[in-house]
Amino acid sequence: MSGDRDEAVVQPPDPPADPDDWEAVFWDIGGVILELESVQAAHAEFVADLIERHEVALSLEEAIDIWRTTVGDYFRERDGTAFRAAREGYHRGIEAIVGEEVPMDEWKPPFQEAVQASIEPVPSAPETIARLAERDLHVGVVSDVDDREGKEILEYVGVRRHVDSITTSEEVGHTKPHPAMFETALTKADVTPERSLMIGDRYDHDVRGAARMNIHGVAFGAKEGPAVSYRIESPKEVLAIVEGDR
């Protein structure tokens, strides 16, 4: 019963009567703007370079397994929604592979090079964001990333110049679905939650978290649930929502 009551709280608000009344579109990064498979490829490229430079007696497959396990365990140790810096998880993963600590100023440049060379945007996401930026809308990002890394990713995939605000977990101190993430984004944008959209690939974190703040959750790959206002198969479908065709 308590679960039912909790779900009842997150029923989405009614959409604006006039599509011109939409005020903001907020985006997650991973899985929405940034293709997650390309992130895995970037990390694999970095790990390959790491074991070569440090002459580590591991196969690439073994080293990648250590990387993923160490970094994954680091994030699983998080206390609720408390922020944990990804760079610290990467630092631990590198130490686990090499067998000793590698200074961050030594591993960070090749890591950034691998990311910049390998990451790819989700198809149609950059073009959609650019078109939204041409409208009388606030285009924002709300993401569970390190502040600098998130901004660099947006730069690499060519959308940062179209984004009006960026809200990161490092800045807020919490990850989604903590209300402070959405409150901060709404305050920066100075918009009404009922006239705002949040596009995300995780139901509990992005869609349901947004709906709890009366923001319309747009599910892109996220599971179904009562908090979903809209479901899309491609980022470009966001244009149909703000134009009143959905």
| 229, two tokens | 């206002």
- Residues 186 and 88 grouped into a single domain: no
Instruction: CATH number of the domain at 19, please.
Output: 3.40.50.1000
- Residues 11 and 86 grouped into a single domain: no
Q: Of the candidates 75, 103, 118, which is a domain's last residue?
A: 118
Give per-residue pLDDT as tens, 12-39.
888 898 999 999 999 999 999 999 999 9
Q: Which residues pair with 34 in a beta bridge?
A: 30, 121
- Residues 132 and 179 grouped into a single domain: yes
- Residues 89 and 193 grouped into a single domain: no
* Contact in structure between 40 and 118 (CB atoms under 8 Å): no
Look-up of token digits 């760079």: 87
For residue 174, CA distances in Å to 78, 83, 167 come to: 10, 5, 11
Distance (Å, rounded) from C-alpha 46 to C-alpha 69?
16
Number of domains the chain contains: 2
Question: Given a cut of 60, is residue 5 above it in pLDDT?
Answer: no
Residue-level pLDDT at 4: 40
Q: What's the pLDDT band for 9 if we cut at 50, 70, 90?
A: low
Question: Given a cut of 50, is residue 2 above it in pLDDT?
Answer: no
Residue-level pLDDT at 220: 97
- Residues 41 and 103 grouped into a single domain: yes
Q: Of the candidates 93, 118, 143, which is a domain's last residue?
A: 118
| 234, two tokens | 């491609």
- Residues 131 and 238 grouped into a single domain: yes
- Residues 112 and 96 grouped into a single domain: yes
Residues in the chain, total: 246
**CB neighbour list of residue 28: distance below 8 Å, 6 or more residues apart:** 141, 142, 143, 198, 199, 200, 201, 202, 206
- Residues 158 and 79 grouped into a single domain: no
Residue-level pLDDT at 3: 40
| 31, two tokens | 């899985």
Q: What is the average pLDDT score of the chain? A: 95
Distance (Å, rounded) from C-alpha 189 to C-alpha 200?
18
Closest CA to 199 of 12, 24, 27: 27
Q: Of the candidates 118, 151, 179, which is a domain's last residue?
A: 118
Which long-range contacts link 128-136 to residues 24+ away (Cβ below 8 Å)?
128/235, 128/236, 128/238, 128/239, 129/27, 129/33, 129/159, 129/162, 129/163, 129/235, 130/159, 130/162, 131/239, 132/25, 132/162, 132/238, 132/239, 132/242, 133/162, 133/163, 133/164, 135/242, 136/20
Q: Please tell me whether residue 31 adopts helix, strand or coil conformation.
A: coil
* Domain containing residue 156: 2-35+120-242
Q: What's the pLDDT band for 1 if we cut at 50, 70, 90?
A: very low
* Cis bond before residue 226 (omega within 30° of 0): no
**CB neighbour list of residue 86: distance below 8 Å, 6 or more residues apart:** 71, 145, 146, 149
- Residues 145 and 100 grouped into a single domain: no
- Residues 110 and 129 grouped into a single domain: no
Give per-residue pLDDT as tens, 73-131.
999 999 999 999 999 999 999 999 999 999 999 999 999 999 999 999 999 999 999 99
* Contact in structure between 149 and 39 (CB atoms under 8 Å): no
- Residues 185 and 138 grouped into a single domain: yes
pTM of the model: 0.93
- Residues 98 and 139 grouped into a single domain: no
Q: Return the amino acid letter for 122.
A: V
Residue-level pLDDT at 222: 82
